[in-house]
Amino acid sequence: MTPITIKFQKVDQYKNLIFIAKSEMPEEQETFKRLTNFHNTHKDEITTFLPIYATPIYATLRCKPNPKFQHEEGAIYTLDLSIRKKKHEEKNYIHIYINKSTLVKKSNLDLGELIEF
């Protein structure tokens, strides 16, 4: 797969990495279009959770965790991905894995000061 450049949003409750692209952001439009196209192509054939979701406003990409990579919220990365489709017990699954992650732009979010707990 051709690498994509996308903003890291967060780690979800299952430790998956969530990336987001917004349609109104000029630098994110190409990635938004690719994710939306993938979502529209596969949404009817996959009987389980699809790791790429798209609306007219934004598209998200959910990747399996990889301990080799640490991502900062709001930072932009270029990702080399592997997308795997498999059938298990009569259900179709798609999983997305990060092969390579390169920081393009650090986040300019003020996350606040770290404090001890």
pLDDT at 30: 92
51 token code pair: 């790791």
Calpha distance 53→9 (Å, rounded): 14
β strands within 1-90, DSSP E: 4-11, 17-22, 52-54, 58-63, 76-88
Closest CA to 6 of 39, 29, 40, 36: 29
Q: What is the SS3 assignment for 38? A: helix
pLDDT at 4 over 80: yes
Domain boundaries, given as residue ranges, for the chain: 4-105
Looking at residues 46-70, what average pLDDT do you find?
A: 91
pLDDT at 102: 93
Looking at residues 6-20, what average pLDDT do you find?
A: 93
pLDDT at 114: 80
Residue 111 — pLDDT band, cuts 50, 70, 90?
low
